[in-house]
Every structure is written in structure tokens, then in C-alpha cells.
Amino acid sequence: MERTWITRGSIAFFAIALLAATPVWAQGTMKPMAAMGGMKMPANAPTVPPVTGYSEGQEILFIHTETSDPKIAKILTDMMGGSPVLVVPALASAAKELLAPVYVFTNGKTGDGPAGPLGGQADIFPHPPGDAAYRPLRAVNLVTWRDE
């Protein structure tokens, strides 16, 4: 049986101003906070570790911030070394037109590459920024490889 849960990830590759994510493609063009007269961050400010995934055949970095499922929140929190992924049950009520797919693998070889949250290959995000179907909210689609 296929399960679906809703997650909102601030994709570092994707520009999500709401979640203060910095797109990878913009990092080279951004000025340091001090040069912008922005707020000062303490040296010991918490950080959210990036996770590796794929989009359009390229490795991307993203972060997990919130999910509607408590079990998934625990899996993601543990995977990221204790950086908390918040449970936001209301995300499960998001309208379908607000969601873009992400493919999460339950199995499969990772080889030397990164593993996804459920132990399979890294997640795949088919709609990066600039794509007409890009959305910051994700509908998780579980994928299980079968031997044939």
C-alpha cells in the first residue's frame, strides 16, 4: 500500500523566501550579511544540515524543516543528526494545487552516492525554481524498486 504525507522543505536549491532558504545558484551572487547591513548572527547560531537530492539529473542540496507526519519528522530529525523537523498537521490539508511531487525511495542501491531518509537512493525533485510546476510544498510519493 502506498502512503503519502505532505512535507514542506526549504529546498536550498529552490528559492523559498518564506523559509529563508538560499538557492545554490544564488549563493555566488549574494553579498555577506554584514555588507548588506543585515542582522548579525551569533557564532553559535544553530544551522540546519543540508541533504543531497536530485533535480533534472543534477545533485542539489535542500533542508527538511516541517512535515505533517510525526513518524516522518522523527526519521528526518534522526537523519539530520538531531536538527529538529517540526510536525505541522495542517500541512496535510494543503490544496493539491499548492503541492509539487518529491519522490522518496524506500530501497534501492545508493552505491557511493547519498542515501535518502528511508535508506534508498536520494530523493528526486522534478520541479526546480523557474519550472511552471514549482511549489514550495511537496507531496511525498514513495517509490519501491522491484527485482524483475
Chain segment 85-135, per-residue pLDDT in tens: 999 999 999 999 999 999 999 888 767 778 888 888 899 999 977 789 889
Q: Does residue 79 have a pLDDT over 70?
A: yes
More confident call, 103 vs 33 = 103
Which residues are within 8 A (CB) of 76 and not within 5 positions of it... i.e. 6 or more apart? 64, 67, 85, 117
Q: Does residue 142 have a pLDDT over 50?
A: yes
Element (H, E) at 72: helix 70-79
Q: Is 33 helix (H, G, I), strand (E, B) or coil?
A: helix
- Return d(Cα 66, Cα 114) in angstroms, integer: 21
Count Cβ atoms below 10 Å from residue 89 Cβ, excluding itself: 11
Q: Is 73 helix (H, G, I), strand (E, B) or coil?
A: helix
What residues does each domain of the chain span?
Answer: 6-25+48-143
pLDDT at 145: 86
